[in-house]
């Protein structure tokens, strides 16, 4: 299975950004672990701080399923939400922290309704859980 793992703004800083919330493991290191664990799958990773680049990557449509952490775009990107609605493949939204235990504005996800499921609060393990559920 070809799985696109896509991360939004500031997730390139994983491992150094607020480690008390997001942990101390970089996405590159964790992705390496995931690729070893799910070696029968093709895992493709894309990260951007630019909304349009995320949409363009999603519209390339060269994958079987999506694991997306839209980052801050979760809370206000109707453009990403609309893009996800038009992808007729399994889509799982992942959040490293429990967004429902955070600031009020983080508790609303406008992108979640365009996904099949949401995993929130399991740390980096959320990506693993998403991939497992897609198989």
Annotated binding site for substrate: 69, 75, 82, 96-97, 106
Segment 110-133 shows an average pLDDT of 97
The answer on pLDDT for 93 being more than 80 is: yes
When divided into structural domains, the chain yields a total of 1
**Overall average pLDDT of the 27-33 stretch:** 93
- Contacts of residue 107, defined as CB under 8 A and 6 or more positions apart, other chains included, come to 99, 100
Active site residue 95: yes
User: Average pLDDT, stretch 13-28?
Assistant: 77
Which of 22, 78, 100, 127 is the catalytic position? Answer: 22
Which is catalytic among the residues 45, 78, 95, 100? 95
Could you tell me the residue range of the domain that residue 86 belongs to?
2-134
CA-CA distance, 32 to 37, in Å (whole number)? 9
Using pLDDT thresholds of 50, 70 and 90, give the confidence band for residue 59. very high
Give the 3-state secondary structure of 40-83: CCEEEEEECCCHHHHHHHHHCCCCCEEEEECHHHHHCCHHHHHH
Known binding-site residue numbers: 69, 75, 82, 96-97, 106
In terms of Cα–Cα distance, which of 73, 115, 123 is closest to 93?
Answer: 115
Residues 6+ apart with CB under 8 A from 21: 96, 97
How does the average pLDDT of the chain come out, rounded?
A: 93
Question: Taking the model in full, what pTM does it have?
Answer: 0.91
Annotated catalytic residue 78: no
pLDDT tens per residue, range 94-120 = 999 898 888 787 779 999 999 999 999
Q: How many CB atoms lie within 10 A of CB 99?
A: 20
- Give the CATH number, domain containing residue 34: 3.40.50.9100
């Amino acid at each position: 299975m070809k799985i696109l793992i896509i991360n939004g703004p500031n997730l390139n800083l994983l491992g150094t950004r607020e480690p008390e919330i997001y942990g101390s493991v970089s996405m590159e290191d964790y992705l390496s672990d995931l690729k070893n664990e799910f070696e029968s799958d093709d895992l493709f990773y894309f990260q951007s701080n630019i909304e349009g680049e995320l949409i363009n990557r999603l519209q390339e449509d060269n994958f079987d399923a999506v694991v997306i952490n839209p980052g801050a775009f979760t809370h206000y990107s109707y453009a990403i939400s609309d893009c996800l609605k038009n992808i007729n493949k399994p889509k799982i939204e992942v959040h490293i922290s429990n967004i429902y235990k955070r600031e009020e504005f983080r508790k609303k996800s406008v992108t979640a309704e365009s996904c099949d499921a949401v995993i929130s609060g399991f740390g980096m393990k959320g990506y693993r859980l998403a991939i497992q559920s897609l198989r």
